[in-house]
Structures are given as structure tokens and as C-alpha cells.
Amino acid sequence: MGSISKNSSNSFQCIDALEVSLSIERQGFIFYDKAAKSATDPRVRDVFLYLANEENEHIQSLQNKTRFLQPALANKAMSRKSRTESFIKNKILGKVFPVPGDDKKRTHIAHSDFEALSIGIDAEMRSIEVLGQLIASEKKMDVRMIFNHLLAEEKKHLSALEEIKKDLIQEQA
């Protein structure tokens, strides 16, 4: 995944950071919800259900924060909104979590619980990488805080996935 570079004129506002975070969380929810429905091992299914529920709770929280900010940003410049949408399209969508129906990559198709866990681990690692780059390149403390909060959650998700994968590996040995 390429480096994220932004100059100060492209610095995010809080609403932009929330929209980027929402995009990542929505992709995570779709992936974990689908993975839970496909999982055959009840422990793996439970982890995926837990992560899907976590992502859904994060979505609800981020949407509430976005609604809170909307009145203050009624006159938000369209150019900023289109820059944020372009950033999400070019740097986030399909580059963090796999996108169902993206037949070019086929990374969204897991043929086993183990493979689904590996895809989830890779996605969380990409999310952590993207968020780390965003935090490093952002000058605004409030925007960095939004990304830092999501980064902490993604690290918890990564840990949960790695733990269940390690358990499966030990059982197979």
C-alpha cells in the first residue's frame, strides 16, 4: 500500500476524519458479517460476530458524532467534501478491507475459516498502517485523536484475530 501524503492545504477537518473512519468501519463490518455467516468453526464464527458487532457500534458512534457536527458545517465547502470522497475512493475503498464483488482481486473469497482469519488479519494490518500514516501526516490534534481512537480499536481487533488463528494452528499441530 502506498504512502499517504497530504500537504497542509489538504489537512483534514474533524468531519473528514469521521468520514474516513466511517468508511473503514463500514468495510470492516461488511467483511466480518460475511465471514461470520461463512465460518464453520463456532469459535471463529464468534470472533467474527464479535468484530462485526464492534464495527457496528463504532459506526453508530461515528454517525452520532457526524450528526452532531453537521449543523456547524452546513456551509462546508464542496471542494473539501469532494477531496475527502476522493481520498476515501483512492486510498481506503478496497485497499483496507476486501470489497465483495471485486473479482479482479478475489481477495474477498475465503475458502476456509483459516483463510478468512488471514484476510481479516491482513486487513487490520493495512488499516493500522493507513491510520498510522494519517496520524503522522496530520497537524490537527483533534483530527489525530479521531484517528488514534480508531487505531486503538483496530489493534484490539488484530489481537483477537491473531489469537484465534494461533489457537487453530496449535490444534492442527
Model's pTM, two decimal places?
0.86
Q: Which residues contact 113 (CB under 8 A, 6 or more apart)?
A: 39, 40, 41, 44, 168
Q: Which residues contact 41 (CB under 8 A, 6 or more apart)?
A: 113, 168
Angle between helix axes 14-38 and 78-87 (nearest 10 degrees) is 30
pLDDT digit string, tens, across residues 91-130: 898 889 987 665 444 445 678 999 999 999 999 999 999 9
pLDDT digit string, tens, across residues 7-61: 444 578 888 999 999 999 999 999 999 999 999 999 999 999 999 999 999 999 9
Region 10-172: CATH code? 1.20.1260.10
pLDDT digit string, tens, across residues 138-153: 999 999 999 999 999 9
